[in-house]
Amino acid sequence: MVQKNSEKLPNNPMEAQGLLMIEFYKKFGKEALHVIENVCGKQGRALGLKIMKKVSDNKLKTVAQAFSKSFDPNFVKIISISDECFHIQGTMCPFGLENTSRALCEAVMAIDLEYFRKAVSDKIELKILKTVAAGDIHCDTIYTLKE
């Protein structure tokens, strides 16, 4: 069956989740960001608890390697991975947030931050140097374990 209009449909559950967050943000603006961050953080903590049961230890390198198994190497490149730092760059957002808002990206990235905080340590910090959500050509994120 041929689609009759140009409506963008999600290709997977992550894109569907992203569409929901984009529409919520469009409707409610900055007020929505706290809600999005809170819910995404809960999702990240739940995923972090699951990965803890599957990995041999809670070191950043070990958890980052497990996290990286879901990456498409055509879109995500690991810059560095160690017990102190995990640095990645991506050319595409799995949630489809390209050219939306840096603030929306930061709220959604609570998923990954809380994943690492739950699975590794609450001393994990995240720096989003660049994001396709803000129109950058790629995302550039660094997770660091602070002592």
Cα 75 vs. chain centroid, distance in angstroms? 14
E strand or H helix at 144: strand 139-145
pLDDT at 2: 54
pLDDT at 4: 57
pTM above 0.95, yes or no: no
Question: Where exactly are the structural domains of the chain?
Answer: 13-145
pLDDT digits (tens, 9 = 90+) for 107-124: 999 999 999 999 999 999
Specify the CATH number for 13-145; select among 3.40.50.1000, 3.40.50.920, 1.10.3720.10, 3.30.1380.20: 3.30.1380.20
Segments of the chain with pLDDT less than 50: 1
pLDDT at 70: 87
pLDDT at 1: 46
